[in-house]
Amino acid sequence: MDENSAFNQLAAPLTLLPGSVAQDLLQQLNNVIHYQPVIGIMGKTGAGKSSLCNALFRSTVSAVSHTCACTREPQRFTLQAGERQVTLIDLPGVGESPERDEEYQTLYQRIWPELDLVLWLIKADDRALTPDCDFYFRMLSPGSTGRDKVLFVLAQADKIEPSQEWNGLLNQPSEQQLKHLEEKQRVVSSLFRGPSLPVITVSTATGWHLPELVGTLFRSLPARASSAVSSVIRPQYCTQEIEDQARQDFGDTVSDVMTQTLSEMCLPAAVTTVVSTVINTVVSVARSVWRFFF
């Protein structure tokens, strides 16, 4: 089966409905399948944003800077996997200078509603967290739902003191490093006043904890976004659990948007009952043909 026949199978139960109702629902179905998620990557220059994106996603995302700060303006990248697309926005500039900060904050406040999730990278051995904090609290007002989509990532965990103790054989931090990483997680949690998503520690260079980060990423993404994102994640991180979650989310999203469309139609009760039954069928087919889309 290919994507077209999967779509026909998905649309088949809708032929039982009046033409205009079927058309509306078909349109919704199309929107869900073609939804293009947007993920933002924030953090000071050198935090490891480009490196992390290149490690997580299938296509090379952008140049990694070794000496110069090479990402200066927000840059959009399209990750493509077959028909599916995800937009990455590299959001640099945290803590560059007070004047620039204000400029970036205004710009990012405008971009924020468009983002499904933001990975905010902080270098694990960075002691100067004030610029990140100031930026965060100035840009996202208290109680703002914008804060709920920030996933803090303590990056370059291998560099935390005592950095020479990193266990290359087992590819993991020493006991002492782990203690410092846990301390740092608590500090970040408390400085950002209890972020709603967990603070994750990773080392991109060694691959340590990247599967944990991907797991958290998928638990944190809105349901509408997880399927397309699963298509662009490197296959080694796309576990059965993640696939199951994306499949489940896809069914939930189809159900939500169709039920919402139905409720806006103000149909007679008897018709609503029939349409609800058809929607249930479409949702169950959606889960079974998921892999032909993603």
Ligand X SMILES: Nc1nc2c(ncn2[C@@H]2O[C@H](COP(=O)(O)OP(=O)(O)OP(=O)(O)O)[C@@H](O)[C@H]2O)c(=O)[nH]1
The one-letter code for the residue type at 217 is L
Residues 53-72 that bind ligand X (CB under 6 A): 64-66, 69-71
User: From the CB of 233, what's the least distance to ligand X, in Å?
Assistant: 18
- Of 47 and 229, nearer to ligand X (C-beta) is 47
In the block, tokens 């840009």 appear at 139
User: From the CB of 93, what's the least distance to ligand X, in Å?
Assistant: 8
Among 42, 44, 71, 294, binds Mg ion (CB under 5 A): 71
For residue 253, state whether it binds Mg ion (rule: CB under 5 A).
no
Residues 109-168 that bind ligand X (CB under 6 A): 155-156, 158-159
For residue 204, state whether it binds Mg ion (rule: CB under 5 A).
no
For residue 245, state whether it binds Mg ion (rule: CB under 5 A).
no
For residue 37, state whether it binds ligand X (rule: CB under 6 A).
no
Supply the DSSP string of 91-104, one letter for each residue: E--TTS-HHHHHHH
User: Whose CB is nearest to Mg ion?
Assistant: 50
In sequence order, which residues have a C-beta less than 8 Å from that of residue 133 and are 6 or more positions away?
191, 192
Neighbours of 55 (CB within 10 A): 17
User: From the CB of 290, what's the least distance to ligand X, in Å?
Assistant: 33
Look up residue 200 and give its two tokens.
Answer: 């994750």
For residue 201, state whether it binds ligand X (rule: CB under 6 A).
no
For residue 50, state whether it binds Mg ion (rule: CB under 5 A).
yes
For residue 203, state whether it binds ligand X (rule: CB under 6 A).
yes
Judged by CB under 5 A, the stretch of 63-71, 163-171, 185-193, 255-263 that binds Mg ion is 63-71
Residues 204-243 that bind ligand X (CB under 6 A): 204-205
Supply the DSSP string of 14-81, one letter for each residue: GGGS-HHHHHHHHHHHHHHHH---EEEEEESTTSSHHHHHHHHBSS--SPPPSSS----S-EEEEEEE
State how beta strands 200-201 and 150-155 pair.
parallel
Distance of CA 114 to the CA centre of its chain: 12
In degrees, rounded to 5, the angle at the alpha carbon of residue 251 between the alpha carbons of residues 247 and 256 is 145
Distance (Å) of CA 157 to CA 52, 201, 217: 12, 6, 18
Among 6, 33, 50, 173, binds ligand X (CB under 6 A): 50
Residues of the shown chain interacting with ligand X in the complex, contacts defined by CB under 6 A: 43, 45-51, 64-66, 69-71, 92, 155-156, 158-159, 203-205
Residues engaged in binding Mg ion (CB under 5 A): 49-50, 71
